Amino acid sequence: MDILLTHCAGMDVHQKEIVVCVLTGNVEDSLFKETRTFSTLTKSLFDLLKWLEEKEVTHIAMESTGIYWKPVYNILEGYFDITLANAQRIKNVPGRKTDVADAEWIAKLLRHGLIEKSFVPSQDLRELRDLTRLRKKWIGNLTAEKNRISKVLECSNIKLGSVISDIFGVSGRKLLNHLVEKGYLDQSDVDSSIHHSLKKKANTISDSLFGTLDKHQIFMIRGSWNHIVYLENSIQELEKRINTVLQSYKEEKEILLSIPGVKDHTAACIIAEIGTDMSQFPSSKHLASWAGVAPGNNESAGKKKGSKSLQGNPHIKATLCEVAWAISRSRKTSMASTFWSLSARRGNKKATKAIAHKVLRIVYTLFINNRSYSDPALNH
């Protein structure tokens, strides 16, 4: 095979150490190989940087092993052409596996140009990723605490959730506050807490609250309630930080908001996960495959068989499926019509993934052409 790179290095990255193999030389006869092991401490990473510069290395390849590649990438970024490889696609032949052999194998693949680069966004987008993913995690924790309170109330013979659709709305929160403070509620407490349409259900709400909480149940509810208040305040601060980072991407955000089903937080997630420079992906099909929303491909002997789609990026995949479900609830849009047509034949899950696939390819086209979305059905 042709040698494309004359000074390259392969890295086998672990939590505590890195095995680095440097290959230099123009032809196989004059190939020079040197392997060293470094610690992952920051001081050792700077020693690694100095050693690679002494060897005149220009290109580096390493596996994307969890989060262990990030400290190494942070130190070496800007000094070398770094290729982050999908570990599944550069596996060595089974047998005689060692860290040194893995590093040498990665270096050889890089030397001959056989490693496909993984998409690594810029520093500001990586920070935006951290913020949007943290917000999603905190939203999940918030929902878990609300479900925990609902469970304690149900076990305490308080059927408030059967009468009020959202017990964490304005009226529900006031009722819960009184309940935690006193352990019970009378009719006057109910009348002073409920608002608007719930006043019609005042008697039913009083009946659902008939009962008394003991000290253990009050302790459980108060603990979850304090955590809910803390999470809500933290999420508000986090959203302010996200909006600050998005100030640099106002134009791209407006383009995304023109797509049905896309809201502010969804747009932030899309920008954080795929970026705004679509030159990273050769086509919209490559982007869809990377995200894991493209159909699977399994053909043998001229016959196409059913196949699951690739795992892809789970964060952008979940976001796009949320957008697809929101589109299904919209009216007079072409993608909503497509969703229900597919749903009737293939089911909601396959229809959701199909619309998610379509939305991502639309995003790619809009970013390439720098234009807003225009629905064909509305134009017609």
pLDDT at 346 over 60: yes
Q: What is the distance between the alpha carbons of residues 107 and 117, in angstroms, rounded to a whole number?
A: 14
Q: Which residue has the higher pLDDT, 338 or 212?
A: 338
Tokens of 112: 């001959």
Cβ–Cβ under 8 Å, residues 353 and 311? no
Over residues 168-187, the pLDDT tens digits come to 888 888 888 888 887 777 77
378 burial type by CB count under 10 A (0-12 exposed, 13-18 middle, 19+ buried)? exposed
Mean pLDDT lowest among 74-78, 91-95, 342-346, 368-372: 91-95
Angle between the N-to-C axes of helices 334-346 and 314-328, in degrees from 0 to 180, rounded to the nearest 10: 100
Q: What is the distance between the alpha carbons of residues 33 and 8, in angstroms, rounded to a whole number?
A: 10
- Rounded to an integer, the average pLDDT of 91-105 is 81
> What backbone torsions phi and psi does residue 299 show, to the nearest 5 degrees?
-125, 135
pLDDT at position 360: 95
- Greatest mean pLDDT range, 198-212, 285-299, 348-362: 348-362
pLDDT at 61 over 90: yes
3-class secondary structure, 136: helix
pLDDT at 197 over 90: no
- This prediction has a pTM of 0.85
pLDDT at position 169: 84
pLDDT at 272 over 60: yes
Q: What is the distance between the alpha carbons of residues 375 and 380, in angstroms, rounded to a whole number?
A: 9
Q: Which residue has the higher pLDDT, 57 or 161?
A: 57
pLDDT at position 380: 54
Helix (H) or strand (E) holding 39: strand 32-39
Q: Which residue has the higher pLDDT, 201 or 242?
A: 242
pLDDT at 314 over 80: yes
pLDDT at 284 over 90: yes
- The DSSP secondary-structure symbol of 77 reads B
**Cα-based distances in Å from 228 to 140, 152, 268, 355:** 11, 15, 24, 34
Q: What is the distance between the alpha carbons of residues 233 and 219, in angstroms, rounded to a whole number?
A: 22
Over residues 16-37, the pLDDT tens digits come to 999 999 999 876 667 889 999 9
> Each residue of 331-341: b (16+ CB within 10 Å) or e?
eebbbbebbee
Name the amino acid, one letter, at 41.
L
Q: How confident is the model at residue 363 (pLDDT cuts 50, 70, 90)?
A: very high
Q: What is the distance between the alpha carbons of residues 58 and 8, in angstroms, rounded to a whole number?
A: 6
Tokens of 219: 């302790």
Mean pLDDT lowest among 61-70, 142-151, 181-190: 181-190
- Rounded to an integer, the average pLDDT of 318-337 is 90
Q: What is the distance between the alpha carbons of residues 293 and 291, in angstroms, rounded to a whole number?
A: 6
Q: How confident is the model at residue 64 (pLDDT cuts 50, 70, 90)?
A: confident
Q: What is the distance between the alpha carbons of residues 255 and 142, in angstroms, rounded to a whole number?
A: 30
pLDDT at 85 over 70: yes
pLDDT at 377 over 70: no
How many Cβ atoms sit within 10 Å of the Cβ of residue 298? 11
pLDDT at 62 over 70: yes
Size of the chain, expressed as the number of residues it contains: 380
pLDDT at position 16: 92
pLDDT at position 378: 63
- One DSSP character per residue, 219-266 reads HHHHHHHHHHHHHHHHHHHHHHHHHHHGGGGHHHHHHHHTSTT--HHH
How many Cβ atoms sit within 10 Å of the Cβ of residue 125? 20
Q: How confident is the model at residue 82 (pLDDT cuts 50, 70, 90)?
A: very high
- Rounded to an integer, the average pLDDT of 5-14 is 92
Tokens of 357: 């696939």
Contacts for 269-272: CB closer than 8 Å, 24+ residues apart: 269/132, 269/136, 269/315, 269/316, 269/319, 270/316, 270/319, 270/320, 270/363, 271/125, 271/128, 271/246, 272/121, 272/125, 272/128, 272/129, 272/131, 272/132, 272/133
Q: Measured on CA atoms in the order 95, 15, 134, 46, is the torsion positive or negative?
A: negative
CA-wise closest residue to 5 among 114, 117, 119, 120: 114
Cβ–Cβ under 8 Å, residues 24 and 7? yes
Q: How confident is the model at residue 160 (pLDDT cuts 50, 70, 90)?
A: confident
